[in-house]
């Protein structure tokens, strides 16, 4: 090997960029022991894994390698000649942080003279101190020379401290060495004013002294050239891996030779040199002189050859074992060349020309997604996508039991009670193995600082005062606590021990009292047991002039939030505002507490991070932080979120949203490149001034997500041929204004101003820089997310670090090609194929998101990026849907819904909606005439699912946004729309837009029109717009009113004075409110056209006439004169009173159906008894018994219930005084009743005699369940809806009596309600019915969605016509059980429809099942549907014939058989 550094080994392009960071590294050419800041151990050669990569394939091999440290920014230019040639001179130059230059000039000695060491720091600073010592040997401790510069102080008998003096524009210091034993000096620089140490790559600066002239035995020594080459390499690595000219390479090589000769001259053997430089273990194996090692192939050459082999093999996806084998095969091929006599640099040239012979078989070629027009979607079972976790109501928020206060917490509480003045600052720091409290108070002109720590070891405060940021100013002598020692610009003061009765542990304390003289605060570090402790590598700093956030009163009491956690976040916001590093570290510290709070805890973290991401909180406040420190803090936070993602899968949806606000981060080199790469861009493209320099200063001070936007703005500006308006448009579109640019700590004042010849280079380099910025700040950026998962390498340049990201292991076969297809088509105008590719990638990725993986967060960020790309593509593809057929829009909907399913948890309803869209598309393809009608039902269900998800977001997030936002002073508008904006940022918003586009198309195709008219009554009234009918159901309007209500659930009352209710909501035609509307002759209709609804809302206050038909409503504005002509629409005052006859207790607690009479039970029980034996045998009637009228009153009067009776009387008196809040208390009190033994015995006897199961036979607990259900029926007399309904018609509530109908529950497949006259049209020739899956409570109760509805002509009952398919997401199912039905004397009265006001209660809880209609035979089997619906229609016809009048009938279907559970006259 020639005498250059490894044949240009130092050239950047020759070095393996993937060598792992060593555990130890060389900091200087000499080391010392037991210094104040000892140098790091010198382990020059290790056997350690070498990770290398070619083409995204990670290779791992065991090989001996040189330890390679991190890159440094200082430069060293030794001017070395052989030590045998006097006079010699050594000059070393270093580049220090803060743009300081350090130069050390050692004058070589002549015979009889001493050494002179001149040290200069430029530019001059007044407070530089040299902290130094000398070395007699490389392994020795520092010695303190007797000859020292003037005013040198001895520091703890371990080091010397000498001050610099001014020399021109430099600070200079001369040291004279006259001790011939001294071989080197070591030192550190200390800037007292800033309390800053300057080190040499983390260790001591070390300057070797030249050998004395004429030292024997040097010039004749034969020094192995391989040893010189290795030492030259280490010098190059130590000096920052600079790009050297050939002349500099030669100088470096000879300087390395000189250093080794000096070592030999001092008595070190070549064997020992080799052991220290190469591997100490090899020396122990043999005491003989180690022969020169055989030249081996450098790893970077083996890596390049392995890459060539991989390309020739077709870029296969190798296993780790195959990767290892390939790397070794490549090395063998090159070793063969070396053994032929080919030199390394010649091998390198042959590799670059592809002239190295290689034997490799091409692997079978995989499918190339990127060359195809679209990907081939795999067939999957969609139900495997269901993520189902316990609902919020079932989760228990586990808060750890309050722990006893620690000694330091007790001290803090006691001190706050004792101090005078206002507490202006309080901080608690984690230090060593304890905590440090700092409490600052201010009174008059005095500032008092109270410090306390529970650290066990002796603690010293090394402190100063500061009037400017970063300043260390010596405190006045009169403020120093006793025993303080001054050290120039700093003071050291010992803590003292404190004891208290309420503290079991010692607390060391220190109080400092300072006169207010404009001090900003106190910088300090802690010395505990001789160890220096800092605050995350920075000085501690406590502010005196704190201007706390102007907290507004918290919105509400924090109900529905993790209040204690939010309070802690608010208290820490002042610290978090310093920088992203602080904010992310604080968030990481809070993850454990958030986990204890559960879902609400992570909701609080999400709200806080979202406020940050939307710039509602300060990003940086007078604090300089390095990009790598920000990315390290991000990395710490995202690592903890990743860990929680695995351990608590029920919180994954919220955790994903948190991660999307934070960014990926990345400890180490990725963050550092932000700082370094901008300098390279400036240098390479000659753009060092103006805006680029201002941006550079901002990046060095505190990088943020704004930098991604600034970089994009520069790229857009350059692409537009330097159109400055394009630059500002990009900035403004992304929320960055000129004012924001000026608000940075390092403001950007200037606009970019580039030359045309800079365009190509800047576009290239800024494009690469964008990847670095996005890698840290943009977790959801697709390109950077793909790169992080697939692996990439960014070469270093000069002082700039290189970056090596290895591929994530375990990716599916063909996944890289799939991602490449996505990247190749990401900008396509026609987005359908792109959407398929994105979703196929997400489907392939999904299984990996549920498995532990040390790179899981990279997979999550990739999934977030794919999700975001789907939304972007959909928005871009809206134009593609213009004039599209319904099938095209439906397919887009199915794709967007699939994306939403993959993004959220508790997605079972959405999965079944997705299956529904597949079914609808299949019906279209097969020409099914009901395809549009079925698609409309799936659309309605999908809307309900989106609304349910939005409600969940609002319930989870909005209370935290309100509470925390008010405390942090967030703009009110940002708080108000917080949840809305969170929803808009997801796939749900895109899906909703597509549904709105499809809805009118389907309604037109299915001939549904814009309205569903539930109660077709003509009306004239004034328009009033309300949010919820529920909120105004008890109001009374003085003039005829048309209510336009955004929400109608189905259980509400209609307010007095209302002549019409119009809503976009979809209550069932047979819901309570629908029945009420028809009975009260109130127009009631659902409007499906948003433009019509908006027009009606815009007419608020206007007088309108509504003219409905069975399927449409027309409206027009009219004069008030028309009110008088509308006889049925004027308000004539209160409704007439209806008389109730109070029923008496008959003396019997239970009766059979044969004993049902008007005096004993209500119409519900009598009607069901009347049916028995009078209907065809295929219509079944369940067995019934009843608790007759008066039983409730008798039970209350029983001696068992005296206390309950007294309480009920008191509550009813309050109710008579219109204290309506007691209604709920009355219901709860009824549940306290005890059952008289006679009631139990009679009910048991009647049920068993009738053939019904007796609950008590299964145990006392089962009877208690039945008794509770009975009491709930009685208590429903005091339901708000029922109570106010009776008040409205002046019905005497005390006279209302409640019988209880007892029936065995049939575990139904379907439930139905029949109206034997069509209630919408009033057509008596049509039977109208609705059917739901499961129990009928979802049909008559306030359950969202529509039932299957159909009509049947009475002359053709075998040909039912489906009007609408079901959209109800929930079905109720129950075990074999008993139901207790309300049967009051207030139902079905003339002029008052009381049916449905009171509760029917099953003994057992119903189970809610999310319904999949694509597997329901009633939906997919035409013959089954026709059979069941025809039987239901015939049942209605038979019962109507029996009674001779229109009937309202309820029943169920079980195993194809019809059961009727009740009937009453249709109102």
Q: Name the 3-class secondary structure at 117.
A: strand
919, 1416 Cβ separation under 8 angstroms: no
What 949-953 contacts at long range (C-beta under 8 Å, 24+ apart), as own/partner pairs, is 949/904, 949/910, 949/983, 949/988, 950/979, 950/983, 950/988, 952/392, 952/906, 953/979, 953/982, 953/983
DSSP letters, 1178-1235, are TEE---EEEE-TTHHHHHHHSGGGHHHHHHHHHHHHHHHTT-TTHHHHHHHHHTT---
Q: Name the 3-class secondary structure at 354.
A: coil
434, 456 Cβ separation under 8 angstroms: yes
Angle of CA points 917, 922, 924, to nearest 5°? 95
234, 26 Cβ separation under 8 angstroms: yes
988, 900 Cβ separation under 8 angstroms: yes
Out of 462, 700, 825, 1072, the active site residue is: 1072
Based on the number of CB atoms within 10 Å of its own CB, is 767 exposed (0-12), middle (13-18) or buried (19 or more)? Answer: exposed
**Nearest Cα to 1414, choosing from 446, 381, 719?**
381
d(CA 583, CA 639): 15
> In 1030-1142, where does DSSP find H-type helix?
1072-1079, 1090-1098, 1121-1125
What distances in angstroms separate CA 592 from CA 391, 640, 708, 884, one per listed residue? 22, 9, 31, 51
987, 900 Cβ separation under 8 angstroms: yes
d(CA 1453, CA 1434): 13
Q: What tokens appear for 1289 in the block?
A: 């018609």
Strands (E) located in 1334-1423: 1348-1353, 1361-1364, 1370-1373, 1377-1384, 1401-1402, 1407-1410
**Nearest Cα to 987, choosing from 872, 906, 908, 891?**
872
What distances in angstroms separate CA 1463 from CA 1168, 1337, 1436, one per listed residue? 7, 16, 10
Enclosing H/E stretch for 949: helix 931-968
d(CA 1011, CA 1083): 12
Enclosing H/E stretch for 1460: strand 1457-1465
Beta-carbon count within 10 A of 71 CB:
21
Q: What tokens appear for 984 in the block?
A: 């808009």
Rg (CA), the chain: 42
Q: What tokens appear for 125 in the block?
A: 């600073």
Given the structure tokens 């309100």, which residue do they identify?
A: 962
**Nearest Cα to 1335, choosing from 1375, 1302, 1378, 1371?**
1371
Enclosing H/E stretch for 101: strand 100-107
Residues 6 or more apart whose Cβ sits within 8 Å of residue 1123: 1020, 1040, 1103, 1129, 1130
d(CA 1258, CA 1236): 20
1072 is a catalytic site residue? yes
Which residues sit opposite 118 in a β-bridge? 105, 174
Q: What tokens appear for 1413 in the block?
A: 């209609």
Catalytic site residues? Answer: 1072
């Amino acid at each position: 090997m020639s005498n250059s550094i490894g044949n240009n080994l130092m050239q950047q392009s020759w070095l393996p960029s993937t060598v792992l960071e060593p555990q130890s590294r060389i900091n200087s050419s000499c080391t010392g022991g037991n210094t104040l800041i000892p140098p790091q151990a010198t382990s020059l050669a290790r056997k350690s894994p070498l990770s290398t990569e070619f083409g995204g394939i990670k290779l791992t091999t065991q090989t001996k390698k040189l330890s390679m440290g991190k890159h440094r920014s200082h430069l060293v230019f030794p001017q070395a000649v052989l030590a045998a040639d006097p006079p010699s001179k050594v000059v070393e130059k270093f580049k220090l942080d803060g743009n300081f230059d350090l130069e050390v000039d050692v004058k070589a000695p002549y015979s009889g003279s001493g050494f002179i060491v001149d040290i200069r720091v430029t530019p001059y600073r007044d407070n530089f101190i040299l902290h130094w010592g000398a070395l007699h040997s490389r392994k020795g401790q520092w010695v303190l020379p007797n000859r020292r510069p003037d005013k040198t102080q001895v520091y703890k008998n371990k080091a010397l401290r000498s001050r610099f003096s001014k020399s021109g524009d430099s600070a200079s210091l001369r040291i004279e060495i006259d001790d011939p034993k001294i071989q080197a000096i070591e030192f550190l620089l200390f800037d007292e004013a800033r309390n800053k140490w300057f080190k040499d790559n983390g260790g001591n600066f070390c300057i070797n002294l030249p050998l004395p002239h004429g030292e024997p035995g040097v010039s004749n020594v034969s020094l192995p050239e391989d040893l010189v080459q290795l030492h030259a390499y280490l010098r190059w690595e130590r000096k920052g891996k600079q790009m050297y000219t050939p002349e500099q390479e030669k100088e470096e090589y000879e300087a390395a030779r000189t250093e080794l000769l000096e070592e030999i001259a001092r008595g070190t053997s070549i064997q020992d040199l080799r052991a220290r430089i190469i591997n100490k273990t090899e020396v122990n194996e043999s005491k003989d002189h180690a022969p020169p090692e055989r030249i081996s192939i450098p790893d970077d050459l083996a890596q390049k050859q392995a890459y060539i082999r991989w390309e020739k093999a077709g870029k296969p996806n190798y296993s780790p074992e195959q990767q290892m084998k390939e790397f070794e095969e490549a090395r063998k091929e090159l070793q063969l060349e070396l053994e032929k006599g080919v030199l390394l640099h010649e091998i390198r040239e042959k590799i670059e020309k592809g002239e190295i012979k290689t034997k490799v078989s091409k692997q079978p070629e995989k499918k190339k997604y990127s060359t195809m027009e679209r990907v081939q979607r795999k067939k999957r079972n969609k139900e495997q996508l269901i993520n189902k976790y316990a609902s919020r109501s079932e989760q228990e928020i586990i808060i750890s039991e309050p722990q006893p206060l620690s000694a330091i917490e007790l001290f803090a509480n006691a001190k706050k009670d004792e101090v005078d003045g206002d507490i202006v600052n309080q901080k608690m720091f984690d230090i060593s193995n304890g905590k440090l409290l700092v409490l600052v108070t201010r009174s008059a002109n005095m500032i008092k600082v109270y410090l306390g720590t529970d650290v066990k070891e002796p603690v010293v405060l090394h402190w100063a005062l500061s009037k400017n940021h970063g300043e260390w100013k010596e405190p006045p002598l009169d403020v120093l606590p006793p025993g303080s020692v001054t050290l120039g610009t700093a003071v050291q003061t010992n803590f003292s021990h404190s004891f208290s009765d309420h503290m079991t542990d010692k607390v060391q304390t220190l109080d400092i009292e300072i006169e207010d003289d404009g001090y900003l605060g106190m910088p300090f570090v802690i010395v505990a047991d001789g160890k220096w402790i800092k605050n995350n590598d920075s000085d501690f700093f406590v502010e005196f002039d704190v201007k706390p956030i102007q907290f507004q009163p918290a919105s509400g009491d924090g109900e529905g939030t993790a209040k204690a956690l939010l309070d802690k976040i608010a208290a820490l916001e002042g610290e978090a505002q310093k920088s992203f590093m602080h904010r992310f570290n604080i968030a990481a510290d809070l993850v454990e507490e958030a986990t204890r709070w559960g879902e609400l805890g992570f909701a609080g973290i999400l709200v806080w991070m979202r406020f940050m991401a939307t710039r509602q909180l300060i990003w940086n406040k007078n604090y300089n932080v390095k990009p790598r420190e920000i990315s390290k803090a991000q990395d710490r936070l995202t690592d903890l979120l990743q860990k929680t993602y695995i351990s608590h899968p029920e919180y994954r949806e919220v955790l994903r949203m948190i991660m999307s606000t934070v960014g990926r981060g990345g400890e180490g080199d990725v963050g550092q490149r932000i700082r370094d790469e901008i300098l390279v861009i400036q240098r390479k493209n000659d753009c060092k001034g103006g805006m680029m320099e201002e941006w550079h200063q901002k990046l060095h001070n505190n990088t943020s997500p704004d930098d991604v936007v600034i970089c994009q703005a520069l790229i857009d500006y350059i692409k537009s041929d330097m159109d400055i308006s394009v630059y500002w448009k990009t900035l403004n579109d992304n929320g960055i204004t000129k004012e924001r640019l000026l608000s940075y700590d390092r403001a950007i004042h200037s606009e970019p101003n580039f030359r045309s010849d800079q365009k190509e280079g800047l576009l290239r380099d800024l494009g690469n820089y964008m990847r670095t910025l996005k890698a840290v700040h943009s977790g959801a950026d697709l390109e950077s997310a793909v790169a992080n998962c697939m692996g990439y390498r960014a070469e270093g340049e000069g002082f700039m670090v290189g970056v090596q990201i290895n591929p994530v292991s375990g990716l599916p076969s063909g996944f890289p090609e799939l991602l490449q297809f996505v990247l190749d088509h990401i900008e396509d105008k026609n987005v359908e194929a792109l959407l398929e590719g994105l979703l196929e990638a997400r489907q392939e990725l999904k299984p990996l998101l549920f498995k532990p993986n040390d790179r899981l967060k990279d997979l999550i960020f990739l999934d977030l990026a794919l999700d975001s790309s789907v939304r972007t593509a959909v928005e871009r593809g809206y134009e593609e849907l213009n004039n599209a057929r319904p099938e095209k829009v439906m397919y887009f909907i199915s794709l967007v819904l699939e994306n939403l399913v993959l993004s959220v948890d508790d997605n079972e309803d959405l999965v079944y909606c997705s299956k529904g869209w597949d079914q609808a598309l299949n019906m279209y393809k097969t020409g099914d005439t009901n395809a549009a009608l079925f698609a409309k039902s799936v659309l309605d269900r999908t809307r309900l699912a989106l609304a349910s998800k939005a409600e969940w977001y609002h319930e989870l997030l909005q209370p935290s946004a309100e509470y925390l936002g008010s405390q942090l002073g967030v703009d009110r508008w940002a708080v108000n729309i917080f949840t809305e904006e969170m929803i808009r940022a997801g796939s749900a918003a895109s899906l909703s837009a597509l549904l709105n586009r499809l809805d009118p198309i389907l309604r037109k195709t299915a001939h549904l029109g814009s309205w569903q008219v539930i109660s077709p009554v003509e009306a004239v009234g004034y328009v009033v717009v309300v949010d919820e009918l529920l909120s105004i159901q008890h109001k009374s309007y003085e003039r005829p009113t048309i209510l336009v209500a955004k929400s109608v659930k189905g259980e509400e009352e209609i307010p007095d004075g209302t002549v019409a209710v119009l809503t976009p909501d979809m209550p069932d035609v047979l819901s309570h409110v629908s029945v009420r509307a028809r009975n009260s002759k109130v127009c009631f209709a659902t409007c499906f056209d948003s433009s019509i609804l908006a027009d009606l809302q815009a007419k608020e206050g206007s007088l309108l006439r509504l003219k409905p038909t069975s399927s449409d409503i027309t409206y027009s504005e009219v004069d008030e004169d028309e009110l008088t002509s509308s006889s049925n629409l004027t308000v004539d005052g209160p409704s007439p009173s209806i008389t109730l006859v109070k029923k008496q207790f008959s003396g019997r607690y239970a009766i059979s159906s044969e004993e049902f009479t008007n005096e004993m039970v209500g119409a519900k029980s009598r009607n069901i008894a009347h049916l028995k034996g009078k209907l065809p045998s295929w219509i079944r009637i369940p067995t019934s018994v009843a608790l007759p009228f008066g039983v409730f009153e008798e039970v209350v009067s029983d001696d068992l219930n005296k206390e309950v009776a007294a309480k009920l009387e008191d509550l009813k008196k309050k109710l008579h005084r219109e204290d309506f809040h007691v209604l709920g208390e009355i219901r709860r009190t009824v549940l306290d009743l005890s059952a008289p033994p006679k009631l139990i015995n009679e009910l048991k006897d009647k049920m068993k005699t009738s053939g019904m199961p007796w609950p008590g036979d299964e145990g006392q607990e089962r009877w208690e369940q039945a008794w509770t259900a009975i009491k709930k029926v009685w208590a429903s007399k005091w339901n708000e809806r029922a109570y106010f309904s009776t008040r409205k018609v002046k019905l005497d509530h005390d006279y209302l009596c409640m019988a209880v109908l007892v029936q065995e529950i049939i575990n139904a497949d379907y439930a139905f309600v029949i109206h034997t006259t069509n209630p919408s049209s009033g057509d008596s020739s049509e039977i109208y019915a609705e059917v739901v899956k499961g129990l009928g409570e979802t049909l008559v109760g306030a359950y969202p969605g529509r039932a299957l509805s159909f009509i049947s002509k009475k002359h053709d009952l075998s040909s039912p016509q489906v009007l609408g398919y079901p959209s109800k997401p929930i079905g109720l199912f129950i075990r074999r059980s008993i139901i207790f039905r309300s049967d009051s004397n207030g139902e079905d009265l003339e002029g008052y429809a009381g049916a449905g006001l009171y509760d029917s209660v099953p003994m057992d809880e119903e189970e809610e099942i999310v319904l999949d209609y694509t597997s329901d035979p009633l939906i997919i089997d035409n013959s089954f549907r026709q059979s069941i619906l025809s039987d239901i229609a015939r049942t209605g016809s038979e019962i109507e014939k029996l009674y001779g009048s229109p009937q309202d009938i309820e029943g169920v279907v079980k195993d194809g058989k019809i059961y009727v559970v009740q009937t009453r006259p249709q109102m």
